[in-house]
Amino acid sequence: MDFTLSPEQTQIREMVAEFVDEEVVPVASEIDHEDEFPRELVDEMADLGLMGMPFPEEYGGAGLDYHSYALGLEEISRGSGGLGTVVAAHISLAGNMIYEFGSEDQKTEYLTPLAEGDDIGAFALSEAGAGSDVPAMETTATLEDNEYVVDGGKLWISNGSVADTVILFAKTDPEAGNKGISSFIVRPEEDDGFYVEGTEEKLGDKGCPTAELRFDDLRLPEERRLGDEGRGFVQALKTLNGGRITIAARGVGIARAAFEEARTYAGEREQFGQPIGEFQSIKHKLADMDTKIQAAKLLMHKAADNKIRGEDYIKEAAQAKLYASEVSREVANEGIQIHGGYGYTKDFPAERFYRDAKLNEIYEGTSEVLRNTIGDRLLG
């Protein structure tokens, strides 16, 4: 087993890290405070090819493997958790739905501008009464004269208020349970009946707008459906499985930021005549933080490796996402503790890391759901 990064992977990591250090870290606090979509940073990432990292060059992507994509997203999230979510929702969810299940025409027309960063993507699955319980969704799409008429609403949609392309899930056969769900490509600027009801005020993940969407007699041409009718639930599960690798990357990135900040502070802050890092209790905290981060990274890359090899990666992705999510929160919590009273103030970024980390345990599969997934795979 070779843990050495290839020259290309090393180059990608260093390039993204340099961009993050120079362009993202200096404005991360401002992004958190203003909670505005960082359009200029997204445009810069598009110029670097970061908005289409894993997609083939023929569709405008960078053609990177999933290790490189995870490394890139880890670095972006190290700079800003919200920016990490912007990219993950755009690539792993919206873009990947079209790449995996779209026709050639759909890929050319809709995936290419996403991969090139000209368009922003969103993934509209969750509803107020249908989070983990996807088949409980109430949004419907009724076929009438080669058009689907969509009515309903979605909640907690990352990038939902700024997206140019939204992947929408709706029931085409309300009596068929999870086999009655289909997916569609929506173009908010072109399609009448698409409304943004507002965006959420969140604990963290600032800079990534989380929107409530409403569809009122929204009419979509039949050719905007992704794949066959009734396949939407299976498509969503497969897409979320891959997305969990990148949420693991987001968790690792935030944990690294919290650890690095705490380590620096421990070397500078003096109490009782010496840096607090000289005290055994602080050394043990830092040792545990780094050990957990390294373990989370290995789980992340194991899942990515399985995906690249075409092997089953459902359990591995769930484990990576579960562990990295909880590690990010634990490491961020210890970062606050090492900072003491300062860690509880906005004078230091330690509290921001904690707020950003908590989301990892909730979206794209709660920790409780992931434990069920892992258990089901273990028991066959």
The burial of 226, by beta-carbon neighbours within 10 Å (0-12 exposed, 13-18 middle, 19 or more buried), is given as buried
For residue 1, is pLDDT > 80? no
pLDDT of 155: 98
pLDDT of 170: 98
Q: How far apart are CA 80 and CA 93, in angstroms?
A: 19
Query: 249 pLDDT band (50/70/90 cuts)?
Result: very high
Mean pLDDT of the 71-90 span:
98
Query: 362 pLDDT band (50/70/90 cuts)?
Result: very high
Out of 260, 326, 364, 368, pick the active-site residue: 364
DSSP character at residue 350: H
Contact 92, 120 (CB under 8 A): no
pLDDT of 121: 98
22 is catalytic: no
For residue 20, is pLDDT > 80? yes
Average pLDDT, the chain: 97
Closest CA to 352 of 343, 361, 363, 360: 343
pLDDT of 2: 81
Q: Residues 6 or more apart from 237 whose CB is under 8 A from it?
A: none
Q: What DSSP string runs through 206-274?
A: TTS-EEEEEEEEEEEEGGGEESSTT-HHHHHHHHHHHHHHHHHHHHHHHHHHHHHHHHHHHHH-EETTE
For residue 347, is pLDDT > 80? yes
Whole-number percent of the chain with pLDDT over 90: 99
Using CA atoms, how far residue 138 sits from 125, 133, 171, in Å, is: 11, 11, 7
Q: How far apart are CA 198 and CA 194, in angstroms?
A: 12
For residue 236, is pLDDT > 90? yes
Contact 251, 259 (CB under 8 A): no
Tokens standing for 230? 């009734």
Q: How far apart are CA 69 and CA 65, in angstroms?
A: 6
pLDDT of 373: 97
Tokens standing for 72? 């890139």
Query: 380 pLDDT band (50/70/90 cuts)?
Result: confident
- Three-state DSSP at 147 gives strand
Query: 73 pLDDT band (50/70/90 cuts)?
Result: very high
The burial of 379, by beta-carbon neighbours within 10 Å (0-12 exposed, 13-18 middle, 19 or more buried), is given as exposed
Question: In the beta sheet, which residues pair with residue 271?
Answer: 274
Tokens standing for 343? 């860690």
Closest CA to 329 of 294, 358, 352, 368: 358
Q: How far apart are CA 277 and CA 244, in angstroms?
A: 34
Contact 334, 292 (CB under 8 A): no
Q: Residues 6 or more apart from 130 whose CB is under 8 A from it?
A: 136, 137, 138
pLDDT of 3: 85
Query: Residue 227 — φ and ψ, nearest 5°?
Result: 70, -160
Q: Hey, what domains does the chain have and what are their CATH numbers?
A: 7-120 (1.10.540.10), 122-229 (2.40.110.10), 233-378 (1.20.140.10)
- Three-state DSSP at 61 gives coil
Tokens standing for 101? 């299940």
Tokens standing for 269? 């802050």
For residue 162, is pLDDT > 80? yes
Residue-wise pLDDT for 262-303, tens only, equals: 999 999 999 999 999 999 999 999 999 999 999 999 999 999
Residue-wise pLDDT for 174-193, tens only, equals: 999 999 999 999 999 999 99
For residue 348, is pLDDT > 90? yes
Tokens standing for 114? 């996403």
Mean pLDDT of the 65-77 span:
98
Query: 219 pLDDT band (50/70/90 cuts)?
Result: very high
DSSP character at residue 130: B
